[in-house]
Amino acid sequence: MNYIYYIIQARLRGAFKACITGGFVFIGANIYFGSERFYEEILMPTLRYIDPETVHHLSIQMVKYGLVPRIKSIDDPILV
């Protein structure tokens, strides 16, 4: 009985690690490639649940280390 419990526990632990690793790879790839959809639909709504001062500090650190994508669109000349 303990042997079966150990095998199930080991497989669940492995599946959990794979899911967490996959999540980090997904987030890292979206940050690296500068997916604007990722920022608009996942990252920014998530950050709205955190204390504003903490998010402000985190966003400054992200800009400092180049983790924020550059804007790909060109501003309208009327705004200059």
User: For each of the chain's 80 residues, which pLDDT tens digit applies?
Assistant: 678 888 888 899 999 999 999 999 998 888 788 788 888 888 888 888 889 999 899 888 888 887 776 777 777 788 76
Residues 16, 24: Cα–Cα separation, whole Å: 13
Residues 61, 44: Cα–Cα separation, whole Å: 15
List % helix, strand, coil for the chain (3-state, nearest 5).
Answer: 75, 0, 25
pLDDT at 31: 79
Question: Position of tokens 């790909």?
Answer: 72
Residue 50 makes CB contacts below 8 A (sequence gap 6+) with 58
pLDDT at 19: 94
